[in-house]
Structure 1
């Protein structure tokens, strides 16, 4: 190797690290790409192939992503090839049936000392295998309630990613990029390698402390700090909703001013926005958990199932029970 390319940060002295990515049918294609591309870019920065990765499927055959795009696998989990780190790239939605082959494979990799990771819903497979017990973990916000419901002893956060000892989990979308940049910056990586990768990907560094954003705040809140705060209060108080007067008091503004902001930015009243937030949360619980209707009502601040069903049908043009059944037929 040309010594003139060696930098003081030790980037060019890295040892080879291997990654295995298990693709589950209907996996997240963007999750996969934002996980493997940082490794490719890191190899460019280093000047040699220090990060190798292999795409796997359960049977070695090609796998179709949730986008409908088929990806060719390079190996099968039956090969029992051992990696330094393995990731399950999870599907959307999560299948209801248990996959014992994946569970056995994860236990095998763990027994050989591999670090285990989950991308998007991949952490569900680690949890089902009992391999997240005692570790902090995260998952896409849509499936957070399901993970907590099925595995109540887990330490589940709403962060973009978690890297707790030899367990690496992240939410969906482009969060795998944040996780991989973090891993590239840790031993056996280099302190500056992650920054170099971000620079080449024209991306910005996000801390794992950053929360997943999944509401009206993402689209409208940043336009006005007080509006974002109001939406935050609504999201944090669904089981026992605040009155609009209470919201205004917390924000130290008049009710009239609060109504003006909502009308100008969202074209709706604060009460309408609050109801929408609660109903969207209820729909998420109906889709992603097995909670009975009464429990969904209580979790979103409705005192009766009749009132809830009326508001739900007005919002989504379908009753809660019928909507849950329709969603189930699409799985």
Structure 2
């Protein structure tokens, strides 16, 4: 996979393929395509061209309901340097052996394959991630880890492992596109594209996908954050509150006062909330049984777990399982 940089004034454009999986997230798609469009506009040249592909050759509907027309059908002879696979929602719902075979054939022919958001899961099903480093949207990470344990999953924004590229999606698509533009045509153009989209602070490929614990919980109190980390590290076997307090070098009464002041709820309420949120995430993103998830999140029985889930979310575990997350 070799590209020509800006020093060659009449180099042909780099051809890209955009494979759209039904339910793909428009955000992840737009951040990439718009970056390549901006590179063309700002350089005054056609540096990139692209064509849309779908499994049936028909228009594909994004998770928001927008529909994008396809230029080609899976299986067609397509001349592209990189094929991007856009998927969102629940990538388990897409199962098409013809697509997997086509992706393998393109990879054998020297085409780089790049999965966006849930796209890496589609690539893994095609056998393209075995033994590879990869990332995926955090919502899909448990699913990828469960079904493909031979993939070395990283938690960053994107991973370029030779001709195999994976990206968490959302705004990380812009970070990946800028990295590719810099590789192909220099850092100066990539910086201009970043400014075009009001992206003034570059993000490293290994940057975090999620907020820090302080941002996520809305507190900067060191003791509370230490207690939260202790809780999250032992969701499967919840520690007694006195042990959590002792681990933080505080009495239980002091910890309780801090939690009420910083989070507006007791230590016990916080522990239950974190366990239920973890369980809800696993219900949406893995195929593990309700009983297994209940045990993994520290509940004594499936019945007790079901009661707690209904109290918090208003539906039984089966209702959460049907409420598929829409990763960007």
Q: TM-score, normalised by structure 2?
A: 0.86
The answer as to 2:46 corresponding to 1:49 is yes
Partner of 1:212: 209
Q: Look up the match of 1:277.
A: 274
For residue 68 of structure 1, the aligned residue among 65, 68, 90 is 65
Residue 192 of structure 1 aligns with which residue?
188
1:266 CA drift (Å): 2.9
Alignment of 1:240-259 (within 5 A): 240-252=237-249, 255-259=252-256
CA contact (8 A) 1:146 1:288 kept: yes
Deviates more, 1:161-170 or 1:225-234: 225-234
Change in Cα spacing, 1:202 to 1:293, as seen in structure 2 (3 Å) is same
Equivalent residue number for residue 202 of structure 1: 198
Within the alignment, does 1:100 sit opposite 2:87 as a pair?
no
1:210-238 deviation line (CA, Å, top 9, x unaligned): 23227975443465565445434433331
Partner SS state of residue 87, structure 1: strand
Q: 1:71: Cα distance to partner?
A: 1.5
Q: Which stretch shows the higher mean deviation, 212-221 or 174-183?
A: 212-221
Gap regions ≥5 residues in structure 2: none
Separation in structure 1 between the aligned mates of residue 61 and residue 236 of structure 2, nearest angstrom: 39
1:100 offset after TM fit, Å?
A: 1.3
Q: Deviations over 1:175-204 (max 9, x none)?
A: 211222222222x33133333322221113
- Name the Cα RMSD after superposition: 2.6
Q: Deviation string for 1:225-284 (max 9, x for gaps)?
A: 654454344333312234444444444555455434433443222321221111111112
Task: For structure 1, list consecutive stretches of 5 or more residues without a partner in the other structure.
Answer: 1-9
User: Taking CA–CA contacts closer than 8 Å with sequence separation of 6 or more, which of the two structures ends up with the larger relative contact order?
Assistant: 2
Structure 1 Cα separation of the partners of residues 308 and 100 of structure 2: 42
Aligned residue-pair number: 318
- Deviating more after overlay: 128-137 vs 153-162: 153-162
Separation (CA, whole Å) in 2 of partners of 1:222 and 1:62: 46
CA distance in 2, matches of 1:30, 1:133: 27
CA distance in 1, matches of 2:65, 2:128: 30
- How far apart, CA to CA, are the structure 1 residues paired with 2:215 and 2:16? 33
Residue 22 of structure 2: SS of its match in structure 1?
coil
> Aligned residue for 1:168?
165
Q: Residues 1-331 of structure 1 correspond to what in structure 2 (within 5 A)?
A: 11=6, 13=8, 15=11, 16-96=13-93, 98-186=95-183, 188-203=184-199, 204-213=201-210, 218-221=215-218, 224=221, 227-252=224-249, 255-324=252-321, 326-327=322-323
C-alpha distance 279-108 of structure 1, shift in aligned 2 (>3 A): same
In 2, distance between residues paired with 1:19 and 1:284? 34
CA distance in 2, matches of 1:184, 1:253: 52
Query: Shift in Å at residue 23 of structure 1?
Result: 0.8
**TM, length-normalised to structure 1:** 0.85
Once the two structures are TM-superposed, the CA of residue 95 in structure 1 deviates from its matched residue by 3.9
Call closer, same or farther: CA 1:222–1:70 in 2, change over 3 Å: farther
Task: Give the Cα–Cα distance (whole angstroms) in 2 for the partners of residues 327 and 267 of structure 1.
Answer: 28
Q: Deviations over 1:99-132 (max 9, x none)?
A: 1121122112112201111111011111001011
